[in-house]
Structure 1
Amino acid sequence: MPVDATTAARAQQLRRELETHNHRYYVLDEPSIPDAEYDRLFRELQALEAEYPELLTSDSPTQRVGGEALEAFGQIQHRVPMLSLGNAFSEQDLWDFDRRIREALEQPQARLAYCCEPKLDGLAVNLRYEQGVLVSGATRGNGAVGEDISLNLRTIKNIPLRLHGQDWPEVLEVRGEVYMPKAGFEALNARQLEAGAKPFANPRNAAAGSLRQLDSRITATRPLAFCSYGIGEVVGDLPDTQTAVLQALKSWGLPISPEQRLVEGAEGCLAYYQDIAARRDQLPYEIDGVVFKLNALADQQTLGFRAREPRWAIAHKFPAQEAVTELLDVEFQVGRTGAITPVARLQPVAVGGVMVSNASLHNMDEVARLDIRIGDQVILRRAGDVIPQILGIVPEQRPAEARPVAIPEVCPVCGAQVERTRLTRHSKGSESQTEGAIYRCVGRLACQAQVQQAIIHFVSRKAMDIEGLGEKIVEQLVAQSLIRSPADLYALTYEQIIVLEGFAEVSTRNLLAAIEASKQPSLARFIYALGIPEVGEETARRLALALGSLARIRQALPEVLLWLPDVGLEVAGEIHHFFQDAHNQQVLERLAALGVQAQEEGVLHSDFSACATLAELLERLNIPGIARTGAQKLASHFKTLEALITADWLELAGVKGVNEKARRSLSEYFSHAERQKYALALEAQLRDFGMHWDSPKAQNTALPLAGQTWVLTGTLSSLTRPQAKARLEQLGAKVAGSVSAKTHCVVAGAEAGSKLDKAQDLGISVLDEAAFLAYLAQLETQ
C-alpha cells in the first residue's frame, strides 16, 4: 500500500524530533523529555518504517543500531591529508613554538591568539557530510588513506546523521576524536568480566577496538562518543578563525569540547595547560595533553605544513606516567646496520593503562649511565604516554644476586665478532679516535639479521616501494640464500620465486613486475633506500635536492657536506663512510649494472653554487689558533688557498690582525704534506661541484620556477605526489600544502577538492595532469 502524505509527514516529524532529543541528550547534556517518552517516539518511527519501507532514510535515527557484519573494511582516500601534531614536552618547547610562529609571521612582538582544548585519548576520524547528510567516515590511517568505518560511526549517538540548522557548506569534512568516557569504560569492563571475557587495558584501546569491529551491531553496544576539533575538505564558506569554525560546527549539531578556550600568547597557553592538568583526573574522559592552534585561519594558511605536521599547531603532552618493575633479563637485537641494541625484558607491568614487558636500553653507554643490573627494580615511564623508557633503578632494592649487563663478544645471530664503533674527532690541528656508543656485528652479509633488515628497509613503501615484497617473503629469500644484498632482488628469476611458499604463477609474475617497475626511483627515494645510518627521508631529500646527482653524493667529503643545511659532522661522516665502504660500492655498481637508475638527477641546486668561501674552508680545517675572524683576514689577504699554503713567514707577518702564535700554528699545519693534500682536495671538490668561491654563481632565476609556489591536489595517475613534488622542486618551485593569494599555480588531478575551488575563486592558474606533464617536459628539455 503506498504511503499517504500524512504518514510521510509524521515520519519526517518523528525523525526531526528524535534528532533534536539526541542532540540535547548526547551533546548538550540537557534532556528535555523522559527516557520513556523518547522510547515511545523511537518505536513509533520504527513501526512506520517497517510498514512503509519507502520512508526509511539513511539519516534516520533508527539506522544507528548497526547492520550486517562486513568481511573487511574498504579504504577512503582523504581529500585533505589527516596530519599528526608536533609535540611539546616542556614549557620551553611551547615558548619556542610561539616564537617560531611569530618570527615566521614577521610579528616578533605580537601576542597571538590561540585556540586551546584538551587532547582526547581516542581515535582520530574524518566525517564527510554532503548536502548536510553524513555520507562516509574513516580513520586517519596513514594520513592519506583511512579505513572506511562509516557503518560503525553511524552508531555513535552524538554524531548527527544530518546536520542541524542551516547555511552549512555543500561539502563539509569534520575531523575529531572518537573516545570512550571513563564511566562507559568501567561499565564495559564490568560486562566483560561478567561474561568471562578479557577486560580492555584502557579507554583508548576499547574505543579503537570498538570502532574496528566488522559487525557494526557490536559497535552499537559500546559506549562511544565523538568530539570534533577541526575540518578537512570544505566546499562552501566557513568563518575565518578556529574558534568560530568550532562554534559553527556546534550550531550544526556537532559536539565540541566544553573545555575549549581562546587565549593570548604563550603565557595564556601555559596557564590553560596548568589549569587542565590540575583538573585532569576530574574530567569524565582520558586526555594525554592539550592542543594549541593558531586561531587565525589566514595565518594558519601562511605557515603551512612540515612533512608530517602543521606548523601552526602543537600538542603539549602531560608528563608520562611511571611504574616500578623488575628487570628479568637483557637481550640483544641486531639491526640492519649491524648495531647491537640491548633490550630490557621486564616483569609485565601496567603503565598508563598499557601492559609493558619490553623496553629498549638504546646502547651500552645508557646501560652504564643507569648502572642497571639484571634483577634490579627499575623505574619505567611511557615517554609521551607511548614509548616505554627506563628512567633509572631503585638502588636500595638491588638484590645481592643482581648481575651486570655485558655486551656479547659475538653476534647473537651469526656468531661473528662484535666491535665497538670508533669516532674520529677533529680538533684544532689534531685528529683523535674515541669510542662510540654503538657496538656492531662485523658479520655484514654473513649476518642474516643485517641482510634481512637492510632489504626490508630497501623495499619499503617510502624507499623503493616494491609492492608485494613483504617481510615474510624477504625472510624466505634470505633464508634460502637467494638474496644477500638489495642488488640480488633484481637478479631473481621466475623459477626461484614460484617455488616459494604462497606463490603461484600470477603472484610470481606480479612480484617480478613490481621489482622491474622499481628500477627508476627518484634520487631522494634511492638515497633513503640505501639505509645510510642517520640518513632519514628528510636528509635524503635534502641531499638529492642540493647536490643533484648520485655521483656528487658518493664523492662528497664530510667537510663539503657540512655546507648543506641540517647536516652535522656525525651525519656527514656516516654518509662519507657509507660510500667509501668497498662492499657498498660493489652493491651500487651491481644495482647500476642490473638497470637500477635514480631519476630526477640534475645540476647542483642554485642555493649552493659558489656558496663556499675561502674563510669557511680555513675554519673547517680546524687549524689551531685560527678562528672565524682570523680565517676571514687570511682569506682577504691571500685570496687563494695555494697562495696561503706557499706563503713564507714574511708574507704571513704582513697579515694585519693575525698574531704571531696563529702564524706559527698556520705554518706548522701546512708543513705536513698530507694536510696540504687534503686541503687542496677539499678545494678541488668544491670547484668540481660548482660550490667554489670562484665558481659562476647561478641565480635562483636560472631555474624556471624559482620564486614560484605550487600546490598539488587530487590524484595523479602517471606519477605519485612525492614524484611530482620532487620534479617541481628540481625546477626551483616551492610546493605548498594550501592555496593562498601567493600561489602561482595549482595542479589538479582526479577528484580535486576545495583547493581547486579556492584556486578558481582567487583566479590562480590551474593545470590538469596532462597539461602539467607537458609543461614539465617542456621546462626539463630547455
Structure 2
Amino acid sequence: MTDAQTAAERIAALRSEIEQHNYRYYVLDEPSVPDAEYDRLFNELKALESEHPELVTPESPTQRVGGEALSAFGQVRHEVPMLSLGNAFEEQDLIEFDRRVREGLDLPSGDLFGDGAQVEYSCEPKLDGLAVSLLYENGHLVRGATRGDGTTGEDITANVRTVRNIPLKLHGSGWPKVLEVRGEVYMSKAGFEALNAKALETGGKTFANPRNAAAGSLRQLDPRITASRPLELCAYGVGRSDGELPKTHFQLLQALREWGLPISRELKLAKGAEECLAYYRAIGEKRDALAYEIDGVVFKVNDIGQQRELGFRAREPRWALAHKFPAREEITELLGVEFQVGRTGAITPVARLKPVQVAGVTVSNATLHNMDEVARLGVMIGDTVIVRRAGDVIPQILGVIVERRPADAKAVHVPEHCPVCGSAVERTQLIKRSKGKESVSEGSIYRCVGRLSCQAQLKQAIIHFVSRRAMDIDGLGDKIVEQLVDKGLVGSPADLYRLTYEQVFELEGFADLSTRNLLTAIQGSRKPTLARFIYALGIPDVGEETAKLLARSLGSLARIQKALPEVLTYLPDVGLEVAHEIHSFFEDEHNQQVIRALLDEEYGVALQEEGDLSPEYAACVTLADFLDKLNIPYVAATGAKNLAERFGGVEQIIQADWLDLSAMKGLNEKAKQSVRAFFGDGANAERARAIEAQLREFGMHWESEKKAVEGLPLAGQTWVLTGTLEAMSRDVAKEKLESLGAKVAGSVSAKTTCVVAGPGAGSKLAKASELGVKVMDEEAFLEKLKECERL
C-alpha cells in the first residue's frame, strides 16, 4: 500500500468521524467528544489535505472556510415559490384559521353533541433570521439561494457552504435524487453578542439585532467573512423534490434530521386550535430562555395531502399560519417630529426618538400615522413616550407619560409648505355620499399639492411604476430612481422611455454593460398588459386586483378613463368612494398629460390585451339597478324595481308628473315625493341622463344588444380545483376557467359541474365521487381548455 493510499484512507476516516461529530453536535444536540478532541481531529485532517491537495474534495469539512470574493450575486428562480405566511396576532385569529382549514377540508363542524373533527398541526418556533433554499442533487449540496421576492432570490451557494451545520453531503440513504430543503439561517444570542463584542474591540460596526447580523453575514460577497460568523440553519420544509417523501410534515422533518439537517428541537404535534394555543403560550413563557430570538410560532397542517387540498392564496399557503407574539414595549424620549412625503403627496409625521432597544432592535424612529393620531395621543416634542413594535415589525408610539412632560415641551404642527418642494400643504376632505346627498368633513391626511413637481412624490411614483408587479423594469432600484430624479433626467414616468445611453452611463455605478442592460429592460417594458399599466399609474386605492378587474371588465384604457363613478360601481368590490378616486384621477389634467406622454407612438408604451367590454359586465345593468344606484332618498331596491316596471325608461321617470306617480302602486307617499323632488333638481336629472348615455355608449344599457354570457363555452358552470396542478398554478387555472365563463368554487356540491383533481386531491375528490360529480385529471383539463379556446 502506498503512502498516498494510506493518506486517502486516513482522510476518509477522519472526514467520516468529523461529520458524525458535527451531526451529533449540531443536529442531535448530543456532543460526543470534547472540543479539544474535535480540534485535534480537524487539524490532523487539514494537515493531511495540505500534504495531499489532490485528495481535497468540496464536501470535506475543511472546505467551509470560504473561497475568493464574488463581484456580485447571481439570480436564482425558485421553481416552487417561497411564499410568506399569513399572520395572526390574537388568539381569535388562530381559532378563525383553524375554522377555515376545517371548512376547506370539508370536515364535520362541532355542534351541541360534539366538537367535530380536529386537524393535526405541526408546531415550531418562528426563528428570526433569513429564509434560504438549499438544493441537493444526488445527496450533494449544489446551490444555496435567498428567498428574495419569493419567486427570484440570490445565489449564495459559496456562503451557505460555510455554515457549519449545513451538510455538504446528505447523511444516510433514502433521500430523493433532487431535494430542495428550505430553512432559516439565524444567529444565536450568544453568537450575536460575541460578534458585536469583537466588533467593538476592533472598532468595527455593530449589528442592531441577531436577525440583521444573520442576513448581513449571509449576503457578504466575500464568503470568508460569512465563514467567520456564528451562523446556524434550522430546516423547516421542502420545496422541489423528485422522489417519494413522507406523508406528514412532522415525518418529513424527522427524515431531514436523519439526512443530517438540523430541525427545531421544539417541534411538536397538536390537535385542534386549543392545543395549538397551549403550545403558543408554552413557547411564549420560555422565549427568553431559548438560545435564539423568535418572534412567534408557526402552525402547519401536518397531513401533506391536506396541505395540497387546501392550496394557496395569491401570496401565502392556506394551510400554515405564523402566530406572532405580542409587541414588546419600552420607554424613551421624543426628540422631534419630521414630516415625510409619500407617493400620493400624503404628509406623514415621523417621530425621532432617543434610541432604545425594543424586542432586540434599536429603535430611533416611529410612525405617528397622521395628525389625528398625534391629537389622539396628545404627544408633544420632549415627551416621554411608550414605544412598541407592532407585530415585532413597525415601531409605533403607544402613549405618553404625561407626568414626565418637561416645561419646555413643544406642540406638533403640520408644516404649511411641503418640506421637500415648498408647495402648499392642504388638508384632505372626506366626502360621504348616500341617498343623493353629500356631506363634507375634514380628513386626517394632509397632502402636498405639488404632485410630480415634488421630488418626493415623483420618486415614489416612479419607484411604484417600475416595480415588479407594475411595469417590471429590472435594474431600476430606489437609488437609481433617486439619481435620475435628482439630476433632472426624469420628471415623469414617461421620461424613462426617453433616456439615452449617455445619460444612463453618467450615473454613479454604471458602466457599459449595466447601462445597456438597463436600457434593454426599459425597452422590454414597452408592451405591458392593460392591467399592469393601470396598476403602475398608482391610482389611489387601486391595487393589483382592482387593476385586473378594471382591465378585464372594461377592456380598454379609453373606457376606463371616461367611466363615470356610478358606472364603475357595477364592478364587484368597487364602491362609490373608490369609483370617485378612479374617476378623479383620470379627470385630472396633469395625469392626462402623463398618460398621453406614456402612450406616445414614437417613445412610449403600446398596451396589450385591450379588447371589448366583457359580456358579464355588459349584461349586468337593469333599469331597476340603475335607479337603485342613483340613491334616491326613501327609494330602496324594491321601490326601484317597481318604478322600472311602471315607467320602463329613465326619461319617462324624469318627466313623470304628480298624477303619474300618485297612481303608482308599490311606492309609499314619502318615496313618491322623494322621486319627484330628486328629478325636479336639474343637476340630478342631467346626471341620470349622462350615466344612461354612457351605458348606451359602452353597450351596457338594458336595451343594448348583448353578447350573451351563456355564449361563453363554460358559462353558467361551476368548477372546483383540488390537488396539485403541474402545468400551471391553480390561480392561472382559475383565471382561464373564469375567462371561459365558469365560476370557480372552493367546495363541492350537487351543483358542481366538474372537479379538476391533481395529485394529492383529498376530501373534495371523495365528495365528488359520492355526489356523482364529473372528475377530470390535469391532462383532460388541459385538453378541455384547448377545446374551449377553439370555439
Instruction: Please give the residue correspondences for 1:51-200 in structure 2 after superposition, counting only pairs within 5 Å.
Output: 51-107=51-107, 109=109, 110-200=117-207
Instruction: Please give the residue correspondences for 1:316-395 in structure 2 after superposition, counting only pairs within 5 Å.
Output: 316-395=323-402
Inter-CA distance 88–607: structure 2 relative to 1 (3 Å threshold):
farther
- Contact preservation (8 Å) 1:607, 1:700: no
Displacement after TM superposition at 1:700 (Å)? 6.9
Partners in 2 of 1:631 and 1:60 — Cα distance?
80
For residues 144-165 of structure 1, the C-alpha deviation after alignment (integer angstroms, 9 at most, x for no partner) is 2222222332233322222222
Inter-CA distance 714–523: structure 2 relative to 1 (3 Å threshold):
same
- Contact preservation (8 Å) 1:610, 1:694: no
- Contact preservation (8 Å) 2:191, 2:230: yes
Displacement after TM superposition at 1:608 (Å)? 3.2
Residue type of the partner of 1:437?
S
For residues 574-622 of structure 1, the C-alpha deviation after alignment (integer angstroms, 9 at most, x for no partner) is 1111011122122222322334222112333455342344444334322
Inter-CA distance 384–245: structure 2 relative to 1 (3 Å threshold):
same
Which of 130-139 and 552-561 deviates more?
A: 552-561
Residue type of the partner of 2:88?
A
Q: Which of 412, 415, 418 matches 1:411?
A: 418
Instruction: Please give the residue correspondences for 1:492-507 in structure 2 after superposition, counting only pairs within 5 Å.
Output: 492=499
What SS is found at the alignment partner of 2:352?
strand
Match of 1:420 in 2: 427
Is it true that 1:540 corresponds to 2:555 in the alignment?
Answer: no
Q: Which of 212, 215, 221 matches 2:219?
A: 212
Match of 1:764 in 2: 779
Displacement after TM superposition at 1:365 (Å)? 1.7
- Contact preservation (8 Å) 1:127, 1:136: yes
Match of 1:673 in 2: 682
Is it true that 1:297 corresponds to 2:304 in the alignment?
Answer: yes
Instruction: Please give the residue correspondences for 1:170-319 in structure 2 after superposition, counting only pairs within 5 Å.
Output: 170-319=177-326
Displacement after TM superposition at 1:230 (Å)? 0.8
Partners in 1 of 2:711 and 2:271 — Cα distance?
41
Match of 2:112 in 1: none
- Contact preservation (8 Å) 1:321, 1:382: yes
- Contact preservation (8 Å) 1:420, 1:437: yes
For residues 728-766 of structure 1, the C-alpha deviation after alignment (integer angstroms, 9 at most, x for no partner) is 976679999xxx992699xxxxxxxxxxxxxxx977379
Partners in 2 of 1:425 and 1:239 — Cα distance?
56
What SS is found at the alignment partner of 2:585?
helix
Partners in 1 of 2:4 and 2:513 — Cα distance?
57
- Contact preservation (8 Å) 1:79, 1:714: no
Is it true that 1:599 corresponds to 2:599 in the alignment?
Answer: no
What SS is found at the alignment partner of 1:374?
coil
Inter-CA distance 130–481: structure 2 relative to 1 (3 Å threshold):
closer
Residue type of the partner of 1:764?
E
Partners in 1 of 2:512 and 2:190 — Cα distance?
54
For residues 292-347 of structure 1, the C-alpha deviation after alignment (integer angstroms, 9 at most, x for no partner) is 11222223223322232222211111111112222222222222322222222222
Residue type of the partner of 2:18?
L
Partners in 2 of 1:687 and 1:290 — Cα distance?
56
Partners in 2 of 1:496 and 1:724 — Cα distance?
44
Partners in 2 of 1:288 and 1:445 — Cα distance?
40
TM-score normalised according to structure 2 size: 0.85
What SS is found at the alignment partner of 2:344?
coil
Displacement after TM superposition at 1:491 (Å)? 4.1
Inter-CA distance 259–472: structure 2 relative to 1 (3 Å threshold):
closer
What SS is found at the alignment partner of 1:436?
strand
Is it true that 1:448 corresponds to 2:452 in the alignment?
Answer: no
Considering only aligned residues, what root-mean-square deviation do their CA atoms show, in Å?
Answer: 3.8
Residue type of the partner of 1:410?
H
Inter-CA distance 486–37: structure 2 relative to 1 (3 Å threshold):
closer
- Contact preservation (8 Å) 1:562, 1:569: yes
Displacement after TM superposition at 1:263 (Å)? 1.8
Instruction: Please give the residue correspondences for 1:10-29 in structure 2 after superposition, counting only pairs within 5 Å.
Output: 10-29=10-29
Partners in 1 of 2:80 and 2:465 — Cα distance?
29
Partners in 2 of 1:18 and 1:505 — Cα distance?
48
Is it true that 1:621 corresponds to 2:600 in the alignment?
Answer: no
Partners in 2 of 1:477 and 1:52 — Cα distance?
55
Displacement after TM superposition at 1:687 (Å)? 4.8
Partners in 1 of 2:73 and 2:166 — Cα distance?
20
Displacement after TM superposition at 1:170 (Å)? 0.9
Partners in 2 of 1:467 and 1:295 — Cα distance?
38
- Contact preservation (8 Å) 2:712, 2:740: no
What SS is found at the alignment partner of 1:593?
coil
Q: Which of 657, 672, 683 matches 1:663?
A: 672
- Contact preservation (8 Å) 1:86, 1:309: yes
Displacement after TM superposition at 1:565 (Å)? 3.5
What SS is found at the alignment partner of 1:342?
strand
Residue type of the partner of 1:136?
R
Which of 695-704 and 307-316 deviates more?
A: 695-704
Partners in 2 of 1:208 and 1:325 — Cα distance?
28
Residue type of the partner of 2:605?
V
What SS is found at the alignment partner of 2:447?
strand
- Contact preservation (8 Å) 1:99, 1:108: no
Match of 1:31 in 2: 31
Aligned residues, how many?
754
Q: Which of 397, 404, 421 matches 1:397?
A: 404
- Contact preservation (8 Å) 1:77, 1:146: yes
Instruction: Please give the residue correspondences for 1:457-476 in structure 2 after superposition, counting only pairs within 5 Å.
Output: 457-476=464-483
Partners in 2 of 1:500 and 1:159 — Cα distance?
41
Partners in 2 of 1:664 and 1:380 — Cα distance?
57
What SS is found at the alignment partner of 2:266?
coil
Residue type of the partner of 1:339?
A
Instruction: Please give the residue correspondences for 1:639-718 in structure 2 after superposition, counting only pairs within 5 Å.
Output: 640-649=649-658, 652=661, 658-692=667-701, 696=706, 698-699=708-709, 702=712
Q: Which of 521, 528, 531 matches 1:524?
A: 531
Match of 1:562 in 2: 569
What SS is found at the alignment partner of 1:301?
helix
Residue type of the partner of 2:57?
T
Match of 1:742 in 2: 756
Partners in 2 of 1:436 and 1:374 — Cα distance?
23
Displacement after TM superposition at 1:547 (Å)? 2.8
For residues 112-163 of structure 1, the C-alpha deviation after alignment (integer angstroms, 9 at most, x for no partner) is 2222111011111111111112222122122222222223322333222222
- Contact preservation (8 Å) 2:757, 2:778: no
Partners in 2 of 1:608 and 1:454 — Cα distance?
31
Match of 2:768 in 1: none
Partners in 1 of 2:496 and 2:70 — Cα distance?
37
Identical positions, percent: 65
Displacement after TM superposition at 1:289 (Å)? 0.4
Is it true that 1:574 corresponds to 2:589 in the alignment?
Answer: no
Q: Which ranges of structure 2 fall in alignment gaps of 5 or more residues?
A: 110-116, 746-753, 760-775
Q: Which ranges of structure 1 fall in alignment gaps of 5 or more residues?
A: 746-760
Inter-CA distance 534–3: structure 2 relative to 1 (3 Å threshold):
farther
Partners in 1 of 2:440 and 2:137 — Cα distance?
65
Displacement after TM superposition at 1:19 (Å)? 1.9
Inter-CA distance 390–167: structure 2 relative to 1 (3 Å threshold):
same
What SS is found at the alignment partner of 1:573?
helix
- Contact preservation (8 Å) 2:721, 2:755: no
Residue type of the partner of 2:683?
E
Displacement after TM superposition at 1:242 (Å)? 1.6
Partners in 2 of 1:744 and 1:603 — Cα distance?
34
